[in-house]
Amino acid sequence: MGKLVDDAVTHADHAQVKYAAKDFASDQEVRWCPGCGDYSILAQMQRIMPEMNIPREKVAFVSGIGCSSRFPYYMNAYGFHSIHGRATAIASGLKLARPDLMVWVITGDGDGLSIGGNHMIHLMRRNIDVNVVMFNNQIYGLTKGQYSPTSEFGKVTKSSPIGSIDYPFNPAALALGSSCSFVARTLDRDPKHLQYVLKRAAEFKGTSYVEVYQNCNVFNDGAFFQFTEKDSKDDNVVFLEHGKPLVFGKNKDKGIKLDGFSPVVVSLSDGMHSVNDLLIHNEKDSTLAFIMANMTYNAALPRPVGIFQAIERPTYDGEMSKQIDATVSKRGRGSLDKLFASGDTWMIQ
Amino acid sequence: MSVETKTLDEVTIRFAGDSGDGMQITGGQFTSTSANMGNDLSTLPDYPAEIRAPQGTLGGVSGFQIHLGSTEINTPGDVCDVLVAMNAAALKVNLRSLVDGGVIIVNTDGFNDKNLRLAGYVESPLSNGSLSKYQVFAVDISKLTELALADMNLTSKIVDRTKNFFALGMMYWMFNRQLETTVEWLQTKFAKKPEIVESNIRVLKAGWNYAETTDVFTVRYDVKPAKLKAGRYRNLTGNSAVALGLVAAAEKAGLDLFLGSYPITPASEILHDLSGYKNFGVKTFQAEDEIAAIASAIGAAFGGALAVTTTSGPGLCLKTEAIGLAVMTELPLVIVNVQRGGPSTGLPTKTEQADLLQAMYGRNGESPVPVFAAATPSDCFHMAFEASRIALKFMTPVILLTDGYLGNGSEPWLVPTEAELPDISHPFRTNPDNFLPYERDPETFAREWAIPGTPGLEHRIGGLEKKDKTGAISYDPENHDLMIHIRAEKVARIANDIPLAQVEGEESGDLLVVGWGGTYGAIKTAVEKKRAEGKSVAQLHLKYINPLPRNVGEILSNYKKVLVPEINLGQLIKVLREKFLIDAIGYNVVAGLPFKSTEIEQKIEDLLGGL
């Protein structure tokens, strides 16, 4: 870091302060629609931050445009509400310039997968240590209800009056295909799971990608209710837990087994299969991660929720610092006078 | 036969051949040698747009022009006096640049039937009399190179790649150049490949000896050293100068330099150079596109780096929205646009200065951005430093315009010392008491730079309209109007911080020629020539275009006529007319080429004829 940056950020006493969730709430009035799923995500974020053992001033939230992108205003930390789709690129520059910061990107299915799709996949392949939270509500909310890149085929919206003819992205599969190191899915209406996944994402070194199924109660109400509501959730969601078999169902009586490379549902109560036949989740196995991500949108299978993959590899920011440190230690810190006079020079008397 | 030696004040030489013939290296060596011998000079490479066009074709011709002299040299030369053509295509492409009576040296081996056909010659120009108005020296350079290396057991490919040094050797003889500079360069560059060193030195000397001992050449030329300011010099292209200026600015600001960039012709060399300066802590990020390039730089600026993005015209289009974000968030950012021929993909390897109005106005909303322009290759160093200084002092994005001609062209640069450069550092805000993110310095209107990591200054910025002082989101009509005016006034106040414009020539008179950017050398040459003839003409070259220096209006009023030559359809002239209501006259040719000083001279002559 430049000397002036060091001066600015290290003069303070960094003795660990004990924070409460409210310490991460800014003085701004929260302006999402009443009943929006975003409130839960904000609350869970404010709840986990005190456990992260990081001074508040070392945390930055960067967002693009959309309902979700209002998020940074409500966090008492450094925040940057930028332009549509570019939060990932801005966060990349911020993290590279300031590896000492914990950098979050808050985005949505439009901001992160449509206009910002390109920057998203490149952030992931580079593995810059940034945590991305993608609020997926399968609709454009801020522009009042057009189909998004995660809306289902046939979706009737203001801009698709007789049904959308766009096929949706599968965000988890897209992330895995982009070599994202940490890929997860969680639910706005499951605060505990949401907190767990956000914490894991924050602790993970490398790009973390968290897709949150988030209800837009104004323009796409109930899009995920079969996965989030009490009476339907158990039979429609399978939670991925590292080292554990894929069991689901109200009575924990169903499971996922691999038939060749294809996951299939088996009953644990008909005497044909036991838990021992089931697929055991392994966050470190990228092949399994692809198989599970591809269960998404398969109507015959429950929706996978949890951490698909968490495989650490060297980060771009780490490698960048390494190259600079290695060059400085090999050639010494640069001197302008030497630099100016390098190459072919000649004297005029 | 006796050999006569003529002394020349200045001469322009063009080396041309197939892109595989090593013409850039040949020209580069002639440049280094001439620089070491004390000449003033200016150079311009002329590359084909294709990376590897088929051998021998017109599209594959690569050229390098050097203008050297014992007098002050301001341009790479309108036309050349000597043309070295390694094949028929090179002759065909470059003949129109040669003066009548000029010298042509050709490699006859490059004029076989296939070469002639590829170049579109029905019969050989060497034998049909079509070159009779020139002095033609036809030498079988390939064969003589082969003979010189006969006992070295080299592959024919290596032998073929050495022939450019035979031509260089002949030129060194013809212009009385020393061999040491090139010999030393070969010994350093190919230290680990002794056979390359030996073969090239041998062929270089063979070329020299051939010219010395055969009676082909009857005239040699001498170009005496120029009277340059004493000191250490280095030949520098505009792109390398930008890179050095940025590193220097970061060092003098006490900041790390961050470059977000996406490769684009003709700006990529800045990215290449800066990626080699890791020992200065420079961070270069080759982004996935132009938008990510500037966006990453904005992120780095938020984090407290001297942030830069470099591009050319099409890239500037893509960065437009993000520049608006930097205007709104009032973060320092340097945007370098090495202009090329447009619109759209246009002429990627050719020069133009048609992005001025885009830089000034090409954004949504009232989005004022300072616009600076470098005048010469070495001035790119100074203006990159200036752009950084103003960006940091006024907390604003700054667009620096250079162009392909400046970026690739080179001239001697008087190497400065670190101590000569001003300190441009500004401390970050650290005091948490009464902190308001959009409170301003009363003089500059700059807000304070409060970076993440600083306790007690946690705040949010963004692209939505800001409330005065607090920076909170505000849709209040009066506040919006106020903020529009504040942002405009901040940029206008930069005029208090930049040097006054300097006229070259008399302070009043019949004609003032006003230019900006890479046309400086051509205008200067033309104006000086006309002044020497006793004409009342002066030059004003603007390096700060938004805002203009405070005295520009007064200067303009001191001349009967104002001529504004630009390689566009009249962009600076619009700004001057709008600001000063003057009846300026444009001279506009948009051919992808730098102006020739003779064109400007002619225009000056036309205008002064009526006075």
CA distance A91 to A82: 10
Do residues B244 and A292 touch, judged by C-beta distance below 8 A?
Answer: no
- What CATH architecture is B4-222? 3-Layer(aba) Sandwich (3.40)
CA distance linking residue B277 with residue B263, whole number of Å: 17
| pLDDT above 90 as % of chain B | 95
Helix (H) or strand (E) holding B470: none
pLDDT band at A3 (very low <50, low <70, confident <90, very high): confident
A3 chain-B contacts, CB cut-off 8 A: 254
**What's the average model confidence in pLDDT over B401-419?**
96
Query: Does A329 touch chain B if contact means CB atoms closer than 8 Å?
Result: no
Chain A: closest CA distance from residue B190 (Å): 15
CATH, domain B234-420, list 3.40.50.970, 3.40.50.10860, 3.40.640.10, 3.20.20.70: 3.40.50.970
Predicted local confidence at residue B19, as pLDDT: 86
A141 touches chain B (CB under 8 A): no
Distance from CA of A209 to the nearest CA of B (A): 19
Comparing CB atoms, the residue among A80, A97, A349 nearest residue B462 is A80
**Inter-chain contact A92–B285, Cβ cutoff 8 Å?**
yes
| Domain locations in chain A as residue ranges | 11-229+314-321
CB pairs under 8 A between A and B: 254
pLDDT higher than threshold 70 for residue B24: yes
pLDDT, position A313: 98
| A96/B456 touch (CB, cutoff 8 Å), yes or no | no
Taking the CA of residue A83 and the nearest CA in chain B, the distance in Å comes to 7
DSSP codes of every residue in A246-311: -EESTTS-EEEEEETTEEEEEESSSSS--GGGSPBP-TT-HHHHHHHHTTTT-TTSPEEEEEEEE-
Backbone angles phi, psi at A95, to 5 degrees: -65, -35
Q: Chain A 6-25, CB below 8 Å of chain B: which residues?
A: 7-9, 11-12
What integer pLDDT is reported at residue A11 of this predicted model? Answer: 54
Per-residue confidence (pLDDT) for residue A323, from 0 to 100: 98
Interface check A348 vs B, CB under 8 A: yes
Residues of A in contact with B323 (CB under 8 A): none
Which of A9, A328, A344 is closest, CB to CB, to B451? A9
Nearest CA in chain A to B252: A336
As a whole number, mean pLDDT of residues A327-338 equals: 97
- A144-166 pLDDT per residue, tens: 999 999 999 999 999 999 999 99
- For residue B508, the model assigns a pLDDT of 98
Distance from CA of B481 to the nearest CA of A (A): 22
How far apart, in whole angstroms, are the C-alpha atoms of residue B173 and residue B27? 15
**Rounded Cα–Cα distance for residues B331 and B523 (Å):** 36
Interface confidence, given as ipTM, is: 0.97
Average of per-residue pLDDT across B215-224: 92
**The predicted structure's pLDDT at residue B534:** 95
In the predicted structure, residue B286 carries a pLDDT above the cut 90: yes
B180 within 8 A of B142, measured Cβ to Cβ: no
Q: Which residues pair with B402 in a beta bridge?
A: B338
Mutation choice for B interface testing from A1, A4, A106, A107 by most B CBs within 10 A: A4
B369 backbone dihedrals φ, ψ, rounded to 5°: -135, 130
Can you spell out the DSSP letters for B566-600?
ESSSSSHHHHHHHHH----EEEE--SSSPPPHHHH
A349 neighbourhood in chain B, CB within 8 Å: 230
For every residue of B503-531, DSSP letters joined together read: EES-SSEEEEEEEEGGGHHHHHHHHHHHH
pLDDT band at B54 (very low <50, low <70, confident <90, very high): confident
The answer to whether the Cβ–Cβ distance between B430 and A8 falls below 8 Å is yes
Please state the rounded mean pLDDT for residues B382-386: 98
pLDDT classification of A7: cutoffs 50, 70, 90:
confident
Distance to chain A for B406, nearest Cα, Å: 19
Question: A343 contacts in B (CB within 8 Å)?
Answer: 234
> Residue B125 carries which side chain, given as an amino acid letter?
P
What fold characterizes domain A11-229+314-321? Rossmann fold (3.40.50)
- Please check whether residue A315 touches B, CB under 8 A: no
Q: Which helix (H) or strand (E) holds B36?
A: helix B23-36
**pLDDT tens, position by position, B485-538:** 999 999 999 999 999 999 999 999 999 999 999 999 999 999 999 999 999 999
The CATH number of the structural domain formed by B503-608 is: 3.40.50.920
Residue B469 scores a pLDDT above 80: yes
Average pLDDT over residues B283-293: 98
Residue that is written with structure tokens 């996406």 in the block:
B262
- B458 min Cα distance to partner chain A (Å): 5
Give the tens place of pLDDT for each residue, B227-250. 999 999 999 999 999 999 999 999
Q: Element (H or E) spanning B499, and its range?
A: none
On the question of pLDDT at A12 being above 60, the answer is no
Does A13 have pLDDT greater than 70?
Answer: no
Q: Average pLDDT of A9-31? A: 81
Gap between the Cα atoms of A62 and B333, Å rounded:
18
Say how many CA atoms lie within 13 Å of B537 toward its Cβ: 29
CA distance linking residue B31 with residue B65, whole number of Å: 9
Summarize pLDDT for A76-105 with one digit per residue, the tens.
999 999 999 999 999 999 999 999 999 999
Q: Which residues of A touch B27 (CB under 8 A)?
A: none
pLDDT single digits (tens) A23-35:
999 999 999 999 9
pLDDT at A349 (0 to 100): 81
| Per-residue pLDDT at A2 exceeds 80 | no
Determine which of B454, B461, B464, B475 to mutate to test the interface with A (most A C-beta atoms within 10 Å): B454
**Mean pLDDT of the residues in chain B:** 96
What is the mean pLDDT of the segment spanning B444-467? 97
Mutate which of A5, A24, A119 to test chain B, going by most B C-beta atoms within 10 A? A5
Q: Which residues 188-247 in chain A show a CB within 8 A of chain B?
A: none
DSSP state for residue A140 in the 8-state scheme: B
Mean pLDDT of B358-366: 98
The β-bridge partners of A185 are: A211, A306
Q: CA B286, CA B289: separation in Å to the nearest integer?
A: 8
Beta strands in B207-275 (DSSP E): 219-222, 231-237, 257-261
User: Encoding tokens for residue B15?
Assistant: 């080396």
Q: Looking at this protein, which amino acid is placed at residue A2?
A: G
pLDDT digits (tens, 9 = 90+) for B127-179: 999 999 999 999 999 999 999 999 999 999 999 999 999 999 999 999 999 99
Burial classification of residue B600, based on how many CB atoms lie within 10 Å of its CB (0-12 exposed, 13-18 middle, 19 or more buried): buried
pLDDT tens sequence across B537-563: 999 999 999 999 999 999 999 999 999
Closest in B225, B235, B302 to A80, CB measured:
B302
The minimum CA-CA distance between A176 and chain B, rounded to whole Å, is 19
Annotated domain spans of chain B: 4-222, 234-420, 503-608
The residue behind tokens 């998203």 is A120
CA distances from B486 to A219, B360, B429, B474 (A): 39, 17, 21, 15
Same fold for the domain at B234-420 and the one at B503-608?
yes
Residues of B in contact with A79 (CB under 8 A): 458-462
Residue B128 has a pLDDT of 93
Are B473 and A335 a contacting pair at CB < 8 A? no
CA dist., res. B411 & res. B338, Å (int): 17
Model pLDDT for residues B251-284, shown as the tens digit of each residue: 999 999 999 999 999 999 999 999 999 999 999 9
Has residue B53 got a pLDDT over 90?
Answer: no
Q: What is the structure's pLDDT at B216?
A: 85
pLDDT at residue B611, rounded to an integer:
57
- From chain A residues 61-80, the ones with a CB under 8 A of any chain B CB are 62, 72-73, 76-80
CB proximity A34 to B under 8 Å: no
Tens of pLDDT, residues B472-487: 999 999 999 999 999 9
